[in-house]
Amino acid sequence: MDKRNLIGGNLKKYRQLNNLSQRNFIIKLSLLGLNLDQASLARIETYKREVYDYELLYFSKVLDIKIEDLYEVLL
């Protein structure tokens, strides 16, 4: 199957660098107002689910990075 997003690996890398489990990451996203379940996050990190533009905002805020950082190898 083709990749359905470009950021899955970097999202996982930054999540792990922040010592966040998938569960804790989802909790932090939820506190900011993004409802994402663990299965969806796992699918994003394995390139099997699309990422919506507004989700990038939440990801970058929780991880304290720029959106561009999620695309760092690709730029």
Position 1 confidence tier, pLDDT thresholds 50, 70, 90: low
| Distance from C-alpha of 12 to C-alpha of 47, rounded to nearest angstrom | 11
| Distance from C-alpha of 47 to C-alpha of 11, rounded to nearest angstrom | 10
Domain boundaries, the chain: 8-71
- Answer yes or no: pTM beyond 0.75: yes
- Tens of pLDDT along 9-65? 999 999 999 999 999 999 999 999 999 999 999 999 999 999 999 999 999 999 999
Counting other chains too, the contacts that 13-20 makes at CB distance below 8 Å and 24 or more residues apart are 14/63, 14/65, 14/69, 14/70, 15/45, 15/63, 18/63, 18/64, 20/62
Superfamily of domain 8-71: lambda repressor-like DNA-binding domains (1.10.260.40)
